[in-house]
Chain A
Amino acid sequence: MGTQKKGASRGSEDPVELACVPLQAILLADSFTTKFRPITLERPKVLLPLVNVPMINYTLAWLESAGVEEVFVFCCAHSKQVIDYLESSEWFSQPNFTVTTIESHNSVSAGDALRLIYERNVINGDFVLISGDTVSNMSLTQVLQEHKERRKKDSNAVMTVVIKRSKPSQITHQSRLGTDELFMAIDPNTKQLLYYEDKADHAKGSIYLDKLLLADNPSITLHNDKQDCYIDICSPEVLSLFTDNFDYQHLRRHFLKGLLVDDIMGYKIFTHEIHSSYAARIDNFRSYDTISKDIIQRWTYPLVPDVKFFGNSSIKLERQGMYRASEIGQSRSAQIGPFTVIGSGTKIGNTTEISNSVIGEGCSIGSNVSIEGSYIWDNVTIEDGCKLRHAIVCDGVIVKSGAVLEPGVVLSFKVVVGQQFIVPSYSKVSLLQQPTKQDSDEELEYADNSSGIAEISSITHTVDKLNGEITNRPFETQCWPTSELGTGGAGYVWSICEGGHDEEWRHSVAPIPADKLSEAVQAADDDLELTQDGRSLPPSGELKPDSNDSEYDDDGESRDDSIYFEKEVEATFLRAVHENITVDHVILEVNSLRLSYNKVAADCAGGLFYSLMKLALETPHDSASELVQATTNVLAKWKKLLKYYLAEIDEEIEVILKLEEICESTKEFAPVFDKILYQLYDLEVIQEEAILRWDDEKKDADESDKFFVKQAEKFIQWLREASEEEEEEDDEE
């Protein structure tokens, strides 16, 4: 409370004072996704080593260098580990840089986190919102200044999003960071963000922009060539907006889009493009790979392995982008290729080849090992003759001699791979069972232990299946139940979930196989063709009134609509029956339904009649005549209601058609069609004109359609004669 007051009073003073408000940042030490499973079951994502340094250090080091003075680290998943780590690190003892942790156990999304922070009342000015897996070296000066200036002119400018240019096309997006392609519309003059679409729906080949956007701005630019850096400069209102809209969970999907579509409050979001500096977020294994390489290739300078920032030991840059710690035991015959980092205390055996990889501290690598494009964390043992391609190997893993890790393999902590075993590509292996509860990607990084263990049986059968597929070689059953990793192996191979196998390659560390790439290209092409030929964008010339596509849409929708409408009418009617609601009130309710579904009176009549018949059918009856009696009773009771919607002949015909429909589908009613029709006539629900016109309409119908007409033939005949007589009488008069 005290700080809040101080901030407010300062805010009212002159701008020089304003600049003195310490710059604050919120660092979310939880990504609220499950993309790094199974590793994140045991360790939070922000503590995973990125080129041998826990990720959070990159973020904190950048925040410090960018002039942020106070950081609130929001910990949720594995909060204890994060807090312990920060306490043991030097971050708590920095001058002019305060790190405060905020712990929560029940937040499931960024939205929850920000709501909690709002309750704590610690933010008193513009702040930087970032997650703990972001690597950047950009300067905040300019973007902060822009943000502040905009705020002065327009208090609705609540947020500035940092973006960066990348190459266009879905393919490059995919291959670089493994994220979905991003479409944005930006006002070229003010840089205001007008449209944001990141979860690209591949089924849709086109983007819709509200035509009102152009009414305000004479020109807008549409971008496919930008990437979102997930670094946001926010005003304090952002926190209160999250509190006001308690359903906002995801920063982009809910908050950002929510503000963009909401034109009542008029909040505005702006973009700031960085050109020469680096900023990227580790979203999945692929971006982990890409960003690791960027660090090794020094795009992130000064956050590179040979410059001492926090938590890395001294390491030297050698030629060809090779980094080696001082105390390593490397055999003379070992070949270490370019762009490789080797941590201290690691031993490398004879004729081993390593390239484009990161090896952590205290690893022991045997002879004749080949490692390419892999990330090997600390204290890993790799025995002789192993082959590793594009794999992630966590702390304490033992890969026994002759084993092969195919591209895209992830081995979580302390997994043991048996001798000569081949781990198939994209496998994820952990000592922990795969939790079967897979809600959504909003859930926490760690699984509930209880749910994880309870579901062993379901996993074992996948295990068996995998065994059958993978290994034709002999293996002996060990005391470890999961011999699915070969002789002496330990760990469960997770079955592929969420999105299925074809999605795995998107987010894996392994380079995208050529066939997948061409498939993606093909998909993009298909997209194009779809829009060409498809009705979606009708070739001009066929752009006739309202074009065929809207017609199509209408069709689908109205069919759905009618079903819902009828259900609603039925529910309303049944409620009326059970609660003895007066007819007038039912009419009111049905009318409001009619308006909301955009229906006509005939639809109401049909729906009500259907409900009446259903009610009659449900009353206990033994014979057909009893059923007719029940129907008559119901009809007599609700005649007024039905009659209200039968102002015209057409609506009465609709009722007859409905009756026909009902009789077709319910065998109890089928034999008594004519009787019910007669009752309808007798009760004056339906006039004879309607019946005669129905008969006329049916004359040209198929024989099969005439079943009920024939059944009612006698009755109709009688009606006709009666009316003729009447006419004759009229004539006589």
Chain B
Amino acid sequence: MDFQVVVLAGGTSKNLVPLVSKEVPKALLPVGNRPVISYVLELLELSNLKDLIVVVEGQDAAVRVGSWISGAYVDRLHVEVAAVPEDVGTAGALRAIAHHLTAKDILVVSGDIVSDVPLGAVAAAHRRHDAVVTAMLCSAPVSGPSESGSSVGKDKAKKPGRYNIIGLDPTKQFLVYIATGAELEKDIRIQKSILRAVGQMEIRSDLMDAHLYAFKRSVLHEVLDQKDTFQSLKQDVLPYLVRCQLSSEVLLNGAPQTEENGNEKASSQNNQLMLSQILANSSTPSFHELYALGPNVSTPVRRTHKCCVYIAGKSKYCVRLNSIQAFSDINRDVIGDASHLSGYSFSPQNNIIHPSAELGSKTTVGPHCMLGEGSQMGDKCSVKRSVIGRHCRIGSNVKVVNSVVMNHVTIGDGCSIQNSIICSNVQLQDRVVLKDCQVGAGFVVTAGSECKGEALAKKEK
């Protein structure tokens, strides 16, 4: 296979404290009772992309992720796990493993994506246009979770940093402008030269860079080598490639690589070749080729490269687990609206209760719920739109609504848990009331406490 896949699994992201810890790196956070990285791995497997490098920040985390993957996918995928130092950024991570990359094209996937977009289609779009980079775009979440969770909905809407402003050519195949991060706060600034080349540009604010890219390896190598200040793929490398697509520097300096690529741009000194290629491809040439030719065929050819996009359909699911809010949303969606992603088969009541789970009398588990292996619940409990992990012990008269309870959690009698996340090995004593809380691993909540909107965790030693 000539696509090599890099899964950037991250380390222990600060955004997700207290959910992540040294024991549970981000990649292993449970979504529907299995690690989030498994969603990406299975998506890749579906597209028959089986040659993977999983990059993890931090040695410890790498070991943990590695051991889990080798246990789960031993005979299905060919996975190498590489550890990189923390805080090197996405570009830094790729730079660190650059010598492992050998295939012609590289697919870079973020390890926290939960999606059903066919990755093969992204790769195909990349190949079809012989692009330098292809980015996948998906519809930006409208604002807040689709249903319920009204109280947290507000502060999510205030986070514009996650969104992008994206400029597309009229055919919606090429990326001609992208603004991320701090640029979003400023006025939109568009180079006239590229506008002249495309003629018409559609600027969208309802699309989001899903952090899934296909790169041409030679170009990726070159950019990482030469721009050693670049830290992030999303904020540095992609905008850079988009910006200089009409006066390509990357191919200019990369004579040896371009030869080996053997594409038409490498030998672009020869107009005739280019022309004949355009004519041969009876389809209309892209604006890059027209621009490269210049107004009359006798002028020297300009170097261009193409930045493509693959826009996921509106019905496709594509969310990144990069905030606590996203964690709850994804867990809810996986057992709710996007249940096909979970890989489980739902009962007629639209929920999943492991056969080994034990339920007390008069305990109800509503639709869109999941109850893991070996968990026990006492009498008169009620569970709604929640995920409960493995081997949890839940007392009587417990209410769990819109929450995620991880593994080995003990919940005492009369507890009420709403919109909260309870990590593994937590102990909730009797009559604890939690609303909009996150409880870190191993924490003990004393009997009768009431918490609202708090993050509870053990003090780091």
Interfacial residues, chain A to chain B (CB-CB below 8 A): 167-171, 181, 183, 185, 188, 200, 204-211, 213-215, 218-225, 517-518, 521, 524-525, 527-529, 531-532, 537, 539-543
Contacts and interface: CB of A to CB of B under 8 A. Distances in A.
Contacts of B247: 525, 528-529, 532
B196 A224 contact: yes
Interface residues of B, number: 45
Contacts, number: 135
Nearest to B185: A211
Given A219-B202, A521-B294, A539-B240, 13 more contacts: A168-B198, A205-B192, A207-B190, A209-B190, A214-B188, A214-B203, A220-B203, A222-B167, A224-B200, A528-B193, A537-B191, A541-B227, A541-B240
Contact of B184 (A208, A211, A220): A211
Given A521-B295, A537-B191, A218 B204 contact: yes
A527 B187 contact: no
Contacts of A524: 193, 196
Contacts of B187: 208-211
Interface stretch (B93-101, B229-237, B436-444): B229-237
Contacts of A532: 243-244, 247
Contacts of A541: 227, 229-231, 236, 240
Contacts of A225: 199-200
Contacts of A208: 187-189
Contacts of B246: 528
A170 B193 CA distance: 9
A183 B195 contact: yes
Contact of B199 (A213, A219, A224): A224
A181 B229 CA distance: 37
B200 A219 contact: no
B183 A543 contact: yes
A183 to B, nearest CB: 7
Nearest to A214: B205
A223 to B, nearest CB: 5
Contact of A170 (B165, B167, B183, B196): B196
Nearest to A224: B195
Given A205-B192, A209-B190, A211-B186, A218 B205 contact: yes
30 contacts: A169-B197, A169-B199, A183-B195, A204-B192, A206-B192, A207-B190, A207-B195, A208-B187, A209-B187, A209-B203, A210-B188, A211-B185, A211-B186, A214-B165, A219-B205, A219-B206, A517-B295, A518-B299, A521-B294, A521-B295, A521-B299, A527-B191, A531-B243, A532-B247, A539-B227, A539-B240, A540-B235, A540-B236, A541-B229, A543-B181
B160 to A, nearest CB: 10
A529 B227 CA distance: 18
A540 B205 CA distance: 20
B175 interface: no
Contacts of B394: none
Contact of A211 (B188, B194, B206, B237): B188
B205 to A, nearest CB: 4
A517 B299 CA distance: 11
A185 B230 CA distance: 32
A241 B247 CA distance: 45
Nearest to A171: B295
A386 to B, nearest CB: 32
The residue in A181, A206, A521, A524 that gathers the most chain B C-beta atoms within 10 A of its C-beta is A206
Interface in B244-270: 244, 246-247
A219 B204 contact: yes
Closest 6 CB pairs of A and B: A168-B199, A225-B199, A541-B229, A528-B193, A209-B188, A540-B236
Contacts of B184: 211
Contact of B196 (A168, A188, A542): A168
A528 B200 contact: no
The residue in B186, B194, B195, B204 that gathers the most chain A C-beta atoms within 10 A of its C-beta is B195
A537 B177 CA distance: 12
A525 B197 CA distance: 11
A367 to B, nearest CB: 37
Contact of B302 (A170, A518, A525): A525
B283 to A, nearest CB: 19
A206 B189 contact: yes
A537 B198 CA distance: 20
The residue in B186, B187, B188 that gathers the most chain A C-beta atoms within 10 A of its C-beta is B188
A540 B192 CA distance: 19
A523 to B, nearest CB: 10
Contact of A205 (B193, B200, B244): B193
B208 to A, nearest CB: 12
A221 B200 contact: yes
B280 interface: no
Contacts of B1: none
Contacts of B203: 185, 209, 214, 219-222
Nearest to A212: B187
A168 B169 CA distance: 13
Contacts of A200: 192
A181 to B, nearest CB: 7
Contacts of A209: 187-190, 203
A638 B241 CA distance: 62
A20 B206 CA distance: 44
A528 B197 CA distance: 11
Contacts of B230: 540-541
Contacts of A204: 192
A170 B229 CA distance: 35
The residue in B187, B193, B236, B299 that gathers the most chain A C-beta atoms within 10 A of its C-beta is B193
Nearest to B179: A211
A208 B167 CA distance: 14
A541 B193 CA distance: 22
B417 interface: no
B239 interface: yes
B137 interface: no
A519 to B, nearest CB: 12
Nearest to A202: B192
A531 B199 CA distance: 18
B200 A222 contact: yes
B210 interface: no
Contact of B243 (A167, A518, A537): A537
B157 to A, nearest CB: 12
B365 to A, nearest CB: 39
Contacts of A517: 295
B44 to A, nearest CB: 28
Nearest to B180: A540
Contacts of A183: 192, 195
B190 A206 contact: yes
Nearest to B291: A169
B165 to A, nearest CB: 6
A209 B191 CA distance: 11
A531 B191 CA distance: 7
A211 B186 CA distance: 7
Nearest to B247: A528
A205 B193 CA distance: 7
A220 B167 CA distance: 9
A532 B239 CA distance: 12
Contacts of A205: 191-193
Nearest to B229: A541
Contacts of A213: 188
Nearest to B201: A222
Contacts of B294: 521
A543 B230 CA distance: 10
A214 B179 CA distance: 12
A540 B243 CA distance: 10
A213 B197 CA distance: 23
Contacts of B183: 543
A221 B202 contact: yes
Contacts of A537: 189, 191, 243
Contacts of A525: 193, 247, 302
Nearest to A527: B193
B190 A222 contact: yes
Given A168-B196, A209-B203, A524-B193, A540 B240 contact: yes
